[in-house]
């Protein structure tokens, strides 16, 4: 059975009968006729036999991976951010922001390529920009560069602003479990004003497996 998390920029694909780890394919490189058996993500409805709500699989993935009845799990994707909060092993709150949290991951990747930055070599800045979304936040970078700040520092401050925005969106927890490709970006992870536990980019796939187990 093929499970897939069809993200906006990257697709994560798992063949349940195979011992291989999940594959990551850029969405633009995915064959047009590729279909999954069970999937989640923006393109899941048209690329799979059955699709599951992203928040549901995020929560199910969190239940499997986090050994704590109380947790906040934030997924930062290319295009949107979403979180689930559990209290006493039950879902207590959740949110999905496709507008004000829009394009965070995509913008961070775009900026890294444009300015040729290696995020693992950047220092966490002391301050961040007041960023509400990736697209609107870019103006802060351009303004800062015009006023004499280095491109590197401007992007770092932008990323700090993005991280703080995600942290507040998730309810400003003391400890935050993080899901998504940005777990691999040390600058982003380091910019959160709380303890961060990165779970990697396959949390939604884990949630799909659990969904499959629960629903047959």
Calculate the alpha carbon distances from 116 to 7, 60, 110, 119, 120 in Å. 24, 37, 10, 10, 12
- CA neighbor of 186 nearest in space, from 158, 159, 166, 209: 159
Q: Tokens in use for 51?
A: 């699709």
Residue 13 or 58: the one with the smaller Cβ distance to another protein is: 58
- CA neighbor of 36 nearest in space, from 7, 75, 69: 7
Residue 53 or 139: the one with the smaller Cβ distance to another protein is: 53
Residue 19 or 214: the one with the smaller Cβ distance to another protein is: 214
> How does DSSP classify residue 79?
S
Q: To the nearest whole angstrom, how small is the minimum distance from the Cβ of residue 98 to another protein?
A: 5
Q: To the nearest whole angstrom, how small is the minimum distance from the Cβ of residue 154 to another protein?
A: 29
DSSP per-residue letters across 85-138: EEETTEEEEEEEESSTTTTHHHHHHHHHHHTT--GGGPPPPS-----SSHHHHH
Q: To the nearest whole angstrom, how small is the minimum distance from the Cβ of residue 68 to another protein?
A: 16
Q: To the nearest whole angstrom, how small is the minimum distance from the Cβ of residue 197 to another protein?
A: 21
Residue 107 or 210: the one with the smaller Cβ distance to another protein is: 210
Please, which residues bridge with residue 153 across strands? Answer: none
- CA neighbor of 92 nearest in space, from 130, 51, 62: 62
The residue ranges that bind another protein (CB under 8 A) are 53-56, 59, 80, 84, 87, 90-98
Q: To the nearest whole angstrom, how small is the minimum distance from the Cβ of residue 75 to another protein?
A: 12
Residue 44 or 199: the one with the smaller Cβ distance to another protein is: 44
Max CA separation in the chain (angstroms): 59
């Amino acid at each position: 059975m093929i499970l897939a998390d069809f993200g906006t920029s990257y697709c994560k694909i798992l063949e349940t009968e195979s011992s291989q780890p999940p594959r990551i394919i850029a969405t633009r490189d995915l064959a047009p006729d590729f279909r999954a058996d069970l999937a989640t993500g923006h393109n899941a409805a048209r690329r799979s036999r059955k699709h599951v709500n992203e928040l549901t699989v995020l929560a199910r993935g969190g239940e499997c991976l986090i050994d704590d009845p109380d947790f906040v799990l934030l997924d930062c994707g290319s295009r949107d951010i979403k979180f689930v909060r559990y209290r006493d092993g039950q879902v207590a709150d959740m949110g999905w922001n496709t507008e004000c949290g829009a394009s965070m991951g995509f913008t961070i990747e775009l900026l890294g390529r444009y300015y040729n930055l290696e995020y693992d070599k950047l220092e966490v800045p002391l301050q961040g920009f007041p960023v509400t979304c990736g697209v609107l936040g870019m103006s802060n970078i351009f303004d800062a560069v015009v006023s004499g700040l280095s491109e590197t520092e401007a992007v770092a401050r932008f990323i700090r602003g993005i991280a703080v925005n995600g942290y507040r969106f998730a309810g400003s927890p003391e400890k935050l479990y993080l899901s998504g490709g940005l777990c691999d970006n040390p600058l982003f992870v380091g910019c959160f004003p709380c303890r961060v536990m990165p779970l990697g980019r396959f949390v939604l796939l884990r949630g799909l497996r659990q969904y499959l187990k629960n629903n047959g």
